[in-house]
Structure 1
Amino acid sequence: MEQRPEDFDDHRLTGALREWGIDAAETGYLPVGFGDHHWSVTGADGRRYFTTLSDLAYKEYCGPTPDAAFAGLRDAMDTAVELGERGLGFVVAPLRTGDGRSTVRVGGRYALAVFPHTPGAAGRFDGERSTEEQERVLDLLAELHRQPPPARTPRTSLQPHGRDRLAAALEETGTPWRGGPFAEPARELIAACADALRDRLADFDRLAAEVERRGAAQVVTHGEPHPGNLMDDGSALRLVDWDTAGLAVPERDLSGFGTDPALFARYTERTGHAPDPAALALYPLRWNLGEVAEYLGWFRAPHTRTRDTEQGWRGLTETVHHLATTPVPLP
């Protein structure tokens, strides 16, 4: 997020870092990403770290309540830790605290994870990838998907998170929304695209029924292996942001690469799994519907105009317009 959380300052951060035995000499807020808050930290011994502070009230994909979200987040981070300890060098896993925890609850609202400084540059969320880059990432995913699942790996839901919220919003566009400056614009946007959004929900249900009918085996998935979550130091790729790790069909990770079977030839050779066209179509739709539901939860609740809510408004409008204008391939 671009803006710091109002109730969590650097002093509170340095206190929490003692759980890892880190005596922070320097901290700096990093206005990067969307959803979590990040700081760079340099310890008194000169070691560098990257920290992630998660607001558990906005971690619905990990759990519907702050307590459930913390449990789900902890299990996802524990999964990354175990994968890293197995020797998967591309997994940027959180560091353990002195008593072995991957994630620490800070008050009732937040959870903190600490990562080693990772060299390299991340791509953009919507960045284009060359064929060579796609093959490199697919090789990583093939290795990940062949792993026996760690015991704590969360199970993912096929349904988009917040679907009930989206369905309710579609039925409630006839009365004003009063959460803040983006509430009424959000209502008008949803009202204008309501028929298309209902069609996309129906498309989703048809695809989900087909995927469930085929019953493919589930594997450990990262959840969001887009360019923004890949660090490239010129010699190796590493995957960051494992809070979405979970058990799912492989297409949860593969759907961002398109539907051309030729692209997955080496992946299929390494894993024995030929991607299912229905699942490849399902997961981008699931992502977009979940994004709309998340933004609506934000804008129907009390909020103000900030750089982050402005970015969220752009995200909502782009995603709704994409859903309204882009046909869903139904195999």
Structure 2
Amino acid sequence: MQSRPPELSDHDVAAAACAGWKIPAVMASYVSVGYGSHHWVLADVDGNRWFASVDALPGNEAGVGVDVEAGADAGADAAFARLSAALRLAVTARDAGRGFVVAPLRTSDGELVRRLTGGYALALYPFVAGGSGDFHDELSPADGIELTDMLYSLHAVPVPPGAGTRISTESFDLPDRDRLEVALDDAALDDAALDEAGNGEPGSDGEPGSDGPWRGPYGGPLRRLLARHAGDIHRALQRHDELVAASGQQSHRMVLTHGEPHPGNLIRTSSGLALIDWDTALLAPPERDLWLADARTGGQASRRYAVRTGRPLQAELLARYQLAWVLTDIAEFVALLRNAAEETADTSWSWDALCRILDELESSAP
């Protein structure tokens, strides 16, 4: 994330790491890398370094269609439980001998993640020196082979009994789908009301002083954007459901997956590629990882994987995961922008990304 959370100072993160992991006194420096989590590099006087990842839990601001008093604590607890379950899977893979897995360190109490005041969760990782890429980078043929073999090894990790809980197993649901559909319905209703009223009264489109649901700097533009692309989004949601149905029963194909094995989550070290950022780890079909590896290797990853396993991958699931990625991004950006009280580097980036994704969705429509 480009914008640091205003509620958390460098001192807060350093103090929480020292208290939870019993590491020596450290200095914390915020680093603007990645998207979705906030990151700090911690260093002590001897030059030892750690990497801290902080996630915002739902509930520290009002949400669209959410009763904050009734649902905020439950939402934060559920998100914390999902994060903890994902990180436990990463530790399972590391303990099974997968040296490329950069798993979180345990606290002095044996936990993997620690709650912070203000609705945040902190995980601490060993610092890995090396060079990383960007989400959109193509992988070289050699790196593509190495990544595919890493995924083959990861998917072969024996999952201990009891690890396959509901929150750690693929459900094929789209995160925040309900909130996205509420926003689409609101945009359609408000668009119709504005047309009937001759484009509405000043301020009814999210301008200052508006009492409507489209407040903030992105209120009006977001409403108009969703109204214009509502058909594209609804068709994509329907196509997603069709692909899930066509894929059939998958309970017998569940393996330990990373979820986001793109170049931005790979670090080239002196001993090979390391895979970082395990907050999305899940028991799921192998296609959850392979579609993205395919996108960065020109389709070579799934072919090599199928040869190694002796089992072909399902085209419907590869397509489902690719579409689910797009729809999840749309839902996440809409939720962020509809709740944004001010423009920041992160909201500006998210707005540009949302516009680009929706234009691509429109151009790909049959």
Tell me whether 1:161 sits opposite 2:199 in the alignment.
no
SS, match of residue 78 in structure 2: helix
Q: Return the alpha-carbon distance in structure 2 between the equivalents of residues 203 and 64 of structure 1.
A: 31
Q: Return the alpha-carbon distance in structure 2 between the equivalents of residues 296 and 9 of structure 1.
A: 27
RMSD: 2.3
Q: Counterpart amino acid of 1:159? A: D
Tell me whether 1:84 sits opposite 2:94 in the alignment.
yes
Q: What is the CA-CA distance between 1:261 and the residue it aligns to? A: 7.0
The corresponding residue for 1:223 is 259
Which blocks of at least 5 consecutive residues in structure 2 are unaligned? 64-72, 191-204, 206-212
CA contact (8 A) 2:232 2:361 kept: yes
The corresponding residue for 1:122 is 132
Which blocks of at least 5 consecutive residues in structure 1 are unaligned? none
The corresponding residue for 1:46 is 47
Q: Return the alpha-carbon distance in structure 1 between the equivalents of residues 222 and 133 of structure 2.
A: 30
Q: Return the alpha-carbon distance in structure 2 between the equivalents of residues 211 and 28 of structure 1.
A: 45
Q: Return the alpha-carbon distance in structure 2 between the equivalents of residues 82 and 262 of structure 1.
A: 28
The corresponding residue for 1:245 is 281
Q: What is the CA-CA distance between 1:149 and the residue it aligns to? A: 2.0
Tell me whether 1:104 sits opposite 2:104 in the alignment.
no
CA contact (8 A) 2:294 2:300 kept: no
Q: What is the CA-CA distance between 1:307 and the residue it aligns to? A: 0.7
Q: What is the CA-CA distance between 1:25 and the residue it aligns to? A: 3.2
Q: 1:319 to 1:86 in 2, by over 3 A?
A: same
Q: Counterpart amino acid of 1:32? A: V
CA contact (8 A) 2:37 2:56 kept: yes
Q: 2:234 aligns with which of 198, 220, 245?
A: 198
Q: Return the alpha-carbon distance in structure 2 between the equivalents of residues 13 and 296 of structure 1.
A: 29
TM-score, with normalisation over the residues of structure 2?
0.83
Q: Return the alpha-carbon distance in structure 2 between the equivalents of residues 58 and 81 of structure 1.
A: 28
SS, match of residue 65 in structure 1: helix
State which drifts further: 119-128 or 166-175: 166-175
CA contact (8 A) 2:294 2:302 kept: no
Q: Kindly name which structure, 1 or 2, has the bigger radius of gyration based on alpha carbons.
A: 2
The corresponding residue for 1:66 is 76
Deviations 1:42-61 (A, max 9, x none): 1244311110011112899x
Equivalent residues in 2 for 1:282-293 (5 A)? 282-293=320-331
Q: Return the alpha-carbon distance in structure 1 between the equivalents of residues 255 and 279 of structure 2.
A: 16
TM-score, with normalisation over the residues of structure 1?
0.92
Q: 1:193 to 1:114 in 2, by over 3 A?
A: same
Q: 2:186 aligns with which of 149, 172, 187?
A: 172
Tell me whether 1:10 sits opposite 2:48 in the alignment.
no
Q: Return the alpha-carbon distance in structure 1 between the equivalents of residues 252 and 218 of structure 2.
A: 41
State which drifts further: 276-285 or 210-219: 210-219
Residue identity (%): 38
Corresponding residue pairs, total: 326
